[in-house]
Amino acid sequence: MINGVLPPESTGNLLRARFGEMFGTDMRIFRAPGRVNLIGEHTDYNDGFVMPAAIGFYTWIAAAKREDRILEAYSDHFEEKITFSLDALDGPPRKHWSDFIRGVAATFEGAGHKLAGANLVIHTEVPLGAGLSSSASLEVATALALTVPAGIAVPRLELAKLCQAAENQYVGARCGIMDQFIASFGVSGSALMLDCRSLEYQLIPVPRDLRLVVCNSMVRHEHASGEYNRRRADCEAGVKLLAQHLPGIRALRDVGIADLDKYKDALPETIYRRCRHVVSENQRVLDAAKALESGDPDGFGRLMYASHASLRDDYEVSCKELDLLVELASSSPGIYGARMTGGGFGGCTVNLVRAEHAAAFEAQMARTYQQATGIAPNIYVCEPAQGAEAWPAERSLRS
């Protein structure tokens, strides 16, 4: 087991056995990963830059097509089976895991992909509520499970966008495209720098002697979606005010730090700080890509610390446990840089650590965080993993 996750063969067997008990032996298996974002936080919905990597925690789904329009889905995490008709998908979010399944089915049908009924068995390895994108991994895995066995070909980019729409409309979070994109396009061994406006991306190999160590504060970010939507609204308000002086800007992506400072007085103080985070973070992603490509993990690490400070002070989406994890990391073995990752208000930090020190780093972080808070953190030592795929891998699935 790595990070408490079973080897893929065992998970495959487990799913086959469960599916066999419930629905029979004819099935295919799909999986989509969670992610960690190395840098570029709260920039995706500002048309900016992000740099996530997929991590080796997957949502797995065994699936078979049915001849009718009924979806039956069993979640082994919730030990619950839901049944609904593809002809009755509408309705507000129910705050239930089935919202994701219903939402994906509804958005794909709405986009003209006529689905068939299906039987699904879902198994998830992605920690829930930890900011590692369990939602997007469930959406993307569901999208494959509902389309591939039914013989419906959906290009990957469209698939990622429809999954984002499902989350926006059926779950209620106004998330950007980052999580669904990396779950769909991640490549093992690489981080992915994405331009969230053009949706062009570049894979940047992460050197083999580095690890992405994820430290879970164990503070759940459950109540974060109200704050998240408020931050989005702050950014939109900033763009509206700045556009009076900078005609033609469409998003904070179009604003440079010099322009922002020039029109500082046109913005309420809080809105100014929100904008300053986004504008400076976009630049940090571009700088971080250069640092990673040129073999400068120290430079990359400095940008991670700066990103964290900006998220803490200007964007105000950190919390004391995340700040503590970053501070403890800064004096732990093998560290280059640390920051909160994901939406914030709890969840995880990401740490860039020299591989040979990863075990010592993990041990020291576990000890010092528990001493300070009484909470035992979960710590995962990760390398960039592969995005969504049929399992075992089928070459033809990506388009």
Q: Which of 342, 346, 384, 387 binds ligand GLA (CB under 6 A)?
A: 342
Distance CA 341, CA 278 (A): 15
Which residue in the block uniquely carries the two structure tokens 């403890």? 328
Q: Are 203 and 192 within 8 A, CB to CB? A: yes
Give the binding range for ligand GLA (CB under 6 A) out of 40-48, 68-76, 153-161, 332-340.
Answer: 40-48
Is 179 designated active site? Answer: yes
Question: Is 99 an interacting residue with respect to ligand GLA (CB under 6 A)?
Answer: no
Query: Before 127, cis peptide (omega within 30)?
Result: no
Task: Sort 248 into a burial class: Cβ within 10 Å, 0-12 / 13-18 / 19+.
Answer: exposed
Min dist. Cβ of residue 86 to ligand GLA (A): 26
Q: Which of 23, 30, 31, 41 binds ligand GLA (CB under 6 A)?
A: 41
Question: Is 45 an interacting residue with respect to ligand GLA (CB under 6 A)?
Answer: yes
Min dist. Cβ of residue 2 to ligand GLA (A): 24
176: DSSP letter: -
Question: Is 314 an interacting residue with respect to ligand GLA (CB under 6 A)?
Answer: no
Q: Pick between residue 12 and residue 342 the one whose CB is nearest to ligand GLA.
A: 342
Residues 48-77 that bind ligand GLA (CB under 6 A): none
Q: Pick between residue 149 and residue 343 the one whose CB is nearest to ligand GLA.
A: 343
- C-beta atoms surrounding 263 within 10 Å: 17
Distance CA 25, CA 10 (A): 17
Q: Are 232 and 45 within 8 A, CB to CB? A: yes
Q: Pick between residue 12 and residue 103 the one whose CB is nearest to ligand GLA.
A: 103
Q: Which of 44, 125, 254, 314 binds ligand GLA (CB under 6 A)?
A: 44
Min dist. Cβ of residue 164 to ligand GLA (A): 8
Min dist. Cβ of residue 295 to ligand GLA (A): 26
Q: Pick between residue 55 and residue 175 the one whose CB is nearest to ligand GLA.
A: 175
- C-beta atoms surrounding 154 within 10 Å: 18
Active-site choice (44, 47, 99, 179): 179
Cα of 290 vs its chain's centroid, Å:
23
First to last CA, the chain: 32
Task: Name every residue whose Cβ is closer than 8 Å to that of residue 27 and which is 6 or more positions away in sequence.
Answer: 16, 19, 62, 63, 64, 119
Min dist. Cβ of residue 170 to ligand GLA (A): 14
DSSP assignment of 282-315: HHHHHHHHHHHHTT-HHHHHHHHHHHHHHHHHTS
Residues 173-232 that bind ligand GLA (CB under 6 A): 175-176, 178-179
Q: Pick between residue 12 and residue 33 the one whose CB is nearest to ligand GLA.
A: 33
* Site string (162-181) toward ligand GLA, x via CB under 6 A: -------------xx-xx--
Q: Pick between residue 44 and residue 362 the one whose CB is nearest to ligand GLA.
A: 44
Total residues binding ligand GLA (CB under 6 A): 10
Min dist. Cβ of residue 1 to ligand GLA (A): 27
Cα of 264 vs its chain's centroid, Å:
32
Min dist. Cβ of residue 137 to ligand GLA (A): 12
Q: Pick between residue 127 and residue 342 the one whose CB is nearest to ligand GLA.
A: 342
Six-digit token string for 123: 């198994």
Cα–Cα–Cα angle for 25, 10, 126, nearest 5°?
100
Question: Is 345 an interacting residue with respect to ligand GLA (CB under 6 A)?
Answer: no
Q: Are 6 and 104 within 8 A, CB to CB? A: no
Distance CA 294, CA 284 (A): 15
Contact residues for ligand GLA, defined by CB under 6 A: 41-42, 44-45, 175-176, 178-179, 342-343
Q: What residues are labeled active site?
A: 179
